[in-house]
């Protein structure tokens, strides 16, 4: 399969971080690179995204419940939104497994993400709270209520824990806290 000009090769199960000749895009340039699905840097990033999602859900619920006008909280939830937007961009470059094979072809990665969770992610970053800024709505509570589409991001938390539960069980023989197992 190496001589057919394809950018990826079928390979049996890979160890995390292992690279096989012929599995990477042959075209030079930054836009033709990808992130390995089980690399340490990607795992650390995904932990940051999960913490960001959980923080967003907590803060949005708090601001909705208490009609919050604390500008620092509003700034923080928009920082969390920015982290999630960066995560969406990174998903276009994150390789994935298909039947135990690492898919690293850039076009396949993009198509896969567009067919799976891209539209769900897109809905979660839509600024619906701008509707509440219309003169008919008078309180900050309505602005927070219109941010309820961010609650859909909770799927990312479940997806993260589902993805790494097998990896975590593999590391269970180590005698360390569960958070440390995920970072390894």
Q: Which helix (H) or strand (E) is 102 found in, with range?
A: strand 101-103
Q: How far is CA 116 from CA 12, 81, 102, 177, in A?
A: 24, 20, 17, 33
Interatomic CA distance for residues 43 and 52, integer angstroms? 14
pLDDT digits (tens, 9 = 90+) for 118-141: 999 999 998 887 777 766 655 666
What tens digit of pLDDT does each residue of 25-41 get?
444 443 448 899 888 89
CA-based nearest residue to 164, from 151, 152, 179, 150: 179
CB distance 168 to 96 below 8 Å: no
Q: Please give the structure tokens belonging to residue 178.
A: 């569960």
Residue 50 dihedral angles phi and psi, to the nearest 5°: -60, -45
User: What pLDDT digit, counting tens, does each position of 82-120 carry?
Assistant: 999 999 999 999 999 898 899 999 999 999 999 999 999
More confident residue, 99 or 162: 99
Tens digit of pLDDT for each residue in 1-59? 444 444 444 444 445 544 444 444 444 443 448 899 888 898 899 999 999 999 999 98
């Amino acid at each position: 399969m190496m001589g057919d000009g394809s950018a990826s090769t079928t390979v049996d199960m890979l160890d995390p971080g292992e690279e096989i000749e012929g599995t990477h895009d042959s075209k030079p340039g930054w836009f033709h690179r990808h992130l390995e699905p089980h690399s340490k840097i990607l795992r650390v990033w995904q932990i940051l995204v999960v913490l960001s999602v959980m923080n967003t859900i907590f803060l949005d619920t708090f601001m909705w419940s208490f009609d919050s006008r604390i500008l620092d909280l509003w700034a923080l939830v928009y920082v969390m939104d920015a982290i999630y937007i960066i995560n969406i961009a990174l998903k276009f470059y994150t390789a994935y497994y298909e039947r135990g094979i690492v898919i690293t072809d850039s076009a396949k990665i993009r198509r896969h993400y567009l067919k799976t969770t891209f539209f769900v992610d897109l809905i979660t970053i839509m600024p619906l709270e701008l509707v509440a800024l219309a003169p008919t709505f008078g309180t900050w509570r309505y602005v927070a209520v219109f941010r309820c589409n961010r609650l859909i991001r909770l799927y990312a938390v479940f997806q993260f824990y589902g993805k790494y539960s097998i990896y975590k069980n593999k590391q269970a023989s180590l005698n360390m806290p569960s958070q440390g197992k995920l970072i390894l």
